[in-house]
Structure 1
Amino acid sequence: MPTPRHRRRATALATAVAAGIVLTTLPAAGASGEGGLGDPYFPEDGNSGYDVSEYDVHVHYDPAHPRYLEGDTTVEAVATQDLDVLHLDLEGFTVTGVTVNGTPAHTVSREGAHELVITPARPVAKNTRFSVRVRYSGEPVGKGWHTLADGGANASEEPHSATAWYPANDHPSDKATFRLTATVPTGWTVVGNGRPGATTTERDTSTFRWYEDRPMATYLSTIAIDTFTMRTSKLSDGTPVVNAYSPGSRIDPEAEAQLPEILDFLASKFGPYPFSSAGAIVISGNDDEGPLALETQSRPTYHGSLFDLSMVHENAHQWFGNSVSFTDWRDGCLAECFAQYAGQLWDEKSGADLDEGFYAAMVEESAEDPDFWTTRLYDPGQGRELDGALYSKGSMMLHALRRTVGDDAFFGTLKRWQRDHRYGNASWPQFEALAQKVSGKDLTGFFHAWAHGTTAPPKEYLFPGSLGSLDPSADPAA
């Protein structure tokens, strides 16, 4: 008897043949538009040969059948080379139809864990715009798809989540705008990224529409389906705020009311808020272990409740990680180091002394723990792209950098970084170069010790500026 996986594959084959798709096994090596962008940590992620400009994702979901999703996604892109074959990333599902520029694909095959290999009926020429429409259905199997206790669902995970529910060029270096149209039984609500559009009801179903009008990395896209309590407001500049609470989650009006203050505070440090909407998705009752919170673009996802430090961290990511995304997964510090340090800045706003409090405590705790220093902040290693060092050692590094260059140069660098790379991608080496340029100081030794080193930094970099008073070996009379 075939295993369930074999049965799914047999069903996929039968369905695809009935839809007129020829399934083949194609060699990826050497093919134009081949799978895998060569990320040092995730070499199979993403696909070469094109840049996506927009995803238009349509899904149907019935909480009465939580292991089944119907999808119809159109990927709009520009070819960066002549394409005889193109790849998308998609986990699982039965693919029932694929067209390229409205014409059925010549062949479609599956390779590896998530490659959908498409041969168009006619090659796509370099520099031309094209669209790929993929229709699919079945059980979402990727780690990014989470079923809620009452049958609802949510997509959120890092570093991967998108391919659990729609086909994508799944790498942060290819950002695109995002349209979501989701149909669910009436009485259920769908929340996504960006601004809400029109909601329509037909018979016993309701269709919700969301649009994120700024480029977004695929792992930052989200969908949340539940019988939400919706609470809306506006920021002082008119930016809409949409908060959604699952049954069983805690609605805290005081925490909710802090969001405008938090965004204003972060804007004072990093530059203007980069998106046209804000808010939160607060879920509860997952059937598995999803992330406790994730910086899904424009509307972070939280579990259980809102509280200020989590809101600061996830909304700091709207600047660091979302508006300015990293080039590849070696650059995780560009997101996590800064989001973590934003929490320290929030404490400082309330009167905390970061030198004598946060930094001194971290130095003391790490003094007898050489393992604390062993992870590099840039290029920490495959499987360690989101290592805890990015949060602890990383926030220490940023405070030491601030004391090295001074507040004007430090915050000037952060704002310049956002201005120069807004809605794009950048790398850690680019940040080092910018910090050196803005400060006018040679920071080679500093970054070598902090970002590239695997031992505690020398004292000149561990105790710069006002931090020198924390050096236990310093001469108090000096």
Structure 2
Amino acid sequence: MRHSWWRYTVVGAALLAVTNTVPAQADPGDPFAGAPGLGDPYYPLDGNGGYDAENYDVTLGYDPASHVITGSTRVDAVATQALHTFDLDYSGPQISKVSVNNLPAWFTRTQEHELVVTPMLPLLPGLPFTVQVEYAGEITGTDGEGWILSPSGGAFVAGEPHSASAWYPLNDTPLDKATFALHATVPAEWEVMSNGLKIRDELHGANRTVDWEMRQPVVGYLTTIAIDKFEFLAQQRADGTPLLSAFAPQAEKARAVETRLPEFLDFLETLYGPYPFDTAGGIYVDTDLQFSLETQSRPIYAPWTDLDTVVHELTHQWWGDSMSVKQWSDICLNECFASYTADYLWPERMEGKDVDAQYREAVAKYRDDAKFWQITLQNPGVGNEFTSVYYRGPLFLHALRRTMGDAAFFGAVHDFVDGHRYGNASMPEFRQFMQSRTPTDLTGFFAAWLDHAEPPADEFLYPGSLRS
């Protein structure tokens, strides 16, 4: 994610079809009830226990005139324990029906986004099961936690760390990635963009139906749907990877930077290994959006997007998408690397900039600014995830690079992100891995840069060639 402010700073089960009457919610100590959350220190109710999601199949209709959606989502999962009740994360429109393994199920909604499901028959550990949820209602625009309305009457979904639960039920945690498919129907004059490969785009009378597939596992907030009167840009990488980008009616000016997408991906591969997905592209909206977001394989770009922003979001396809955080306190893995790549590595390698001088100027400007250092990079705190990682993060990584030396640093970061492809990683794991790749003791360096709320001592602030 990249915020717009960055540009201006440093940086009875059968009755369920007709009633919502449900049994009492299960005792949280019940061993046969899936946990309603996974205990993330920042968002303890995110995600759910008792099962692993394997695939989401979302069927959605949207009427731009009324902003009404009609949805039906199938969740394919495997029980990891015996379950007579379990939760999904869902904050969208009213639900009309839930079934489990094609049998009607009881359901209720609690908290902000808990959908509690009680199957007619208990689920056994190790066995697959399917949940189908049907829902419909009017959507309203948000400030980055789900649906956002476009000037044309279209709409798209974007938000981090939460947005997916606004349009389909899921296990909303980075720890449970799954494949994803979308089948969207809109009036014929509208277009639909999403993640992955476009499988079908057909007109049937007054309607258009478009199918998308994300065949590599994806975290919920990295999925999206965007509905607008798009114009398209189709390209292809030298290796044959198809590239498809879309521009909302007032976003055509971004076409020039997006034509460089093959060049950007080639550059990032030299740093972090092969591009991890089947396709790439971008969705350029014309809504007054305060952030751009690295939705998997096809980022959503706000109107203020520039080359720096595109490189930032594309870096996330490695750091954040293919390799995702374990907890939201690990957010530096995502944003520190995306910011360092866009703000330091691209200017250095592609534009010939002196990034050591850039680093020294930033340190000189902000060394005595207490506010600059008051939010730590390791565990910045709930609500502060998207702050210091943008402006302190690049400095931290540049100092680490100069401490380790280029060969060790770039070899290690390449191997770390590539070694966690389609999985998860944490900041403690990153610290341990980087230490394993250099004889230099990094204990004090990491503590000074990541754990403390003040500027590092000179030995850590000006290592290697950064010494004046």
The verdict on a shared fold, with TM-score over 0.5 as the criterion, is: yes
Q: TM-score, normalised by structure 1?
A: 0.91
- Residue 104 of structure 1 corresponds to 104
Confirm or deny that 1:401 pairs with 2:419. no
1:271-350 to 2 correspondences below 5 Å: 271-286=273-288, 290-304=289-303, 306-343=305-342, 344-349=344-349, 350=351
**Residue of 136, 160, 163 corresponding to 1:161:** 163
- Residue 65 of structure 2 corresponds to 64
Q: What is the CA distance between 1:144 and its match in structure 2?
A: 1.3
Give the Cα–Cα distance (whole angstroms) in 1 for the partners of residues 27 and 461 of structure 2: 48
Deviations 1:29-50 (A, max 9, x none): 2242121111100011111111
Q: Is the 8 A contact 1:28 1:35 kept in 2?
A: no
Give 1:327's aligned amino acid: K
Cα RMSD, aligned residues only? 1.6
Confirm or deny that 1:462 pairs with 2:461. yes
Question: Structure 1 stretches (4+) deviating beyond 6 angstroms?
Answer: none
Deviations 1:326-347 (A, max 9, x none): 0010010010000000011001
SS of corresponding position for 2:212: strand
Q: Is the 8 A contact 1:231 1:243 kept in 2?
A: yes
SS of corresponding position for 2:411: helix
Q: Is the 8 A contact 1:140 1:165 kept in 2?
A: no
- Residue 207 of structure 1 corresponds to 209
Paired residues, what number? 448
Q: What is the CA distance between 1:275 and its match in structure 2?
A: 0.8
C-alpha change, 1:28 and 1:446, in structure 2 (3 Å) is: farther
Q: What is the CA distance between 1:173 and its match in structure 2?
A: 1.3
- Residue 82 of structure 1 corresponds to 82
Give the Cα–Cα distance (whole angstroms) in 2 for the partners of residues 418 and 169 of structure 1: 24
Q: Is the 8 A contact 1:89 1:167 kept in 2?
A: yes
Q: What is the CA distance between 1:21 and its match in structure 2?
A: 5.5
Q: What is the CA distance between 1:257 and its match in structure 2?
A: 2.1
Deviations 1:293-314 (A, max 9, x none): 1101000001226531111000
Q: TM-score, normalised by structure 2?
A: 0.93
C-alpha change, 1:42 and 1:28, in structure 2 (3 Å) is: farther
Give 1:450's aligned amino acid: W
C-alpha change, 1:160 and 1:235, in structure 2 (3 Å) is: same
Q: Is the 8 A contact 2:197 2:212 kept in 1?
A: yes
Give the Cα–Cα distance (whole angstroms) in 1 for the partners of residues 299 and 382 of structure 2: 26
Give the Cα–Cα distance (whole angstroms) in 2 for the partners of residues 269 and 431 of structure 1: 17
Deviations 1:138-195 (A, max 9, x none): 1235631101112100001111100111111111111111101100010100000001
Give the Cα–Cα distance (whole angstroms) in 2 for the partners of residues 19 and 282 of structure 1: 41
- Residue 12 of structure 1 corresponds to none
Give 2:89's aligned amino acid: D
Q: What is the CA distance between 1:292 and its match in structure 2?
A: 2.5
Q: What is the CA distance between 1:111 and its match in structure 2?
A: 0.6
C-alpha change, 1:113 and 1:209, in structure 2 (3 Å) is: same
Q: What is the CA distance between 1:20 and its match in structure 2?
A: 5.9
Deviates more, 1:24-33 or 1:131-140: 24-33
SS of corresponding position for 1:138: strand
**Residue of 257, 276, 287 corresponding to 2:259:** 257
**Residue of 235, 240, 243 corresponding to 1:241:** 243
Q: What is the CA distance between 1:17 and its match in structure 2?
A: 4.6
SS of corresponding position for 2:392: helix
Give the Cα–Cα distance (whole angstroms) in 1 for the partners of residues 165 and 48 of structure 2: 13
Q: Is the 8 A contact 1:258 1:308 kept in 2?
A: no
- Where does the alignment leave 5 or more consecutive residues of structure 2 unmatched? 1-13
Give the Cα–Cα distance (whole angstroms) in 1 for the partners of residues 287 and 259 of structure 2: 24
SS of corresponding position for 2:252: coil
Q: What is the CA distance between 1:419 and its match in structure 2?
A: 2.1
Give 2:63's aligned amino acid: D
Give 2:200's aligned amino acid: A
Confirm or deny that 1:146 pairs with 2:145. no
- Residue 351 of structure 1 corresponds to 352
- Where does the alignment leave 5 or more consecutive residues of structure 1 unmatched? 1-14, 470-478
SS of corresponding position for 2:437: helix
Give 2:399's aligned amino acid: A
Give the Cα–Cα distance (whole angstroms) in 2 for the partners of residues 239 and 180 of structure 1: 21
Deviations 1:71-90 (A, max 9, x none): 10011111111111110011
Q: Is the 8 A contact 1:62 1:185 kept in 2?
A: yes
SS of corresponding position for 1:284: coil
SS of corresponding position for 2:365: helix
Give the Cα–Cα distance (whole angstroms) in 2 for the partners of residues 130 and 152 of structure 1: 35
Give 1:164's aligned amino acid: A
Q: Is the 8 A contact 1:25 1:110 kept in 2?
A: no
Give the Cα–Cα distance (whole angstroms) in 2 for the partners of residues 252 and 155 of structure 1: 20
- Residue 424 of structure 1 corresponds to 423
Q: What is the CA distance between 1:127 and its match in structure 2?
A: 1.2
Q: What is the CA distance between 1:407 and its match in structure 2?
A: 0.6
Give 1:42's aligned amino acid: Y
Q: Is the 8 A contact 2:74 2:131 kept in 1?
A: yes
- Residue 196 of structure 1 corresponds to 198
Give the Cα–Cα distance (whole angstroms) in 2 for the partners of residues 75 and 311 of structure 1: 32
C-alpha change, 1:196 and 1:400, in structure 2 (3 Å) is: same
Deviations 1:230-268 (A, max 9, x none): 111111111111110101113344312211111111110
Q: Is the 8 A contact 2:74 2:132 kept in 1?
A: yes
Q: Is the 8 A contact 1:16 1:95 kept in 2?
A: no
